[in-house]
Amino acid sequence: MDDLTAELENAAWRKARKSSSNDGNCIEVAPLSGGRVGIRDTEAPEKAPFVVSAGVWDAFVDGTKKGEFDF
């Protein structure tokens, strides 16, 4: 098992406080070493999560706050 795999298995996963879905239809995030962020689907936590850099995560959060991803 490599270091990242072990870190992901022991990560402190959390979903948004304002999540209204209790049926598992959410994403979870976890802070990782080196400023990285893990992102996974609560419907499939056994699947490999995405891992992004802090810069990518910050750009996503900023875009979300600005409504760039609204439908």
Domain residue spans of the chain: 1-8+25-71
- The span from the first CA to the last CA of the chain, in angstroms, equals 40
Strand order in the sheet with 50-52: 27-31, 37-41, 50-52
For the chain, the average pLDDT equals 88
Q: Which amino acid is at 9?
A: E
Unique residue bearing structure tokens 């098992």: 1
**Whether the predicted pLDDT of 40 surpasses 60:** yes
CA 49, CA 14: separation in Å to the nearest integer?
13
Half-sphere exposure of 46 (CA within 13 A, CB side): 0
52: which 2 tokens? 């992004």
Query: pTM of the prediction?
Result: 0.80
Banded model confidence at residue 2, pLDDT cuts 50, 70, 90: confident
Banded model confidence at residue 42, pLDDT cuts 50, 70, 90: confident
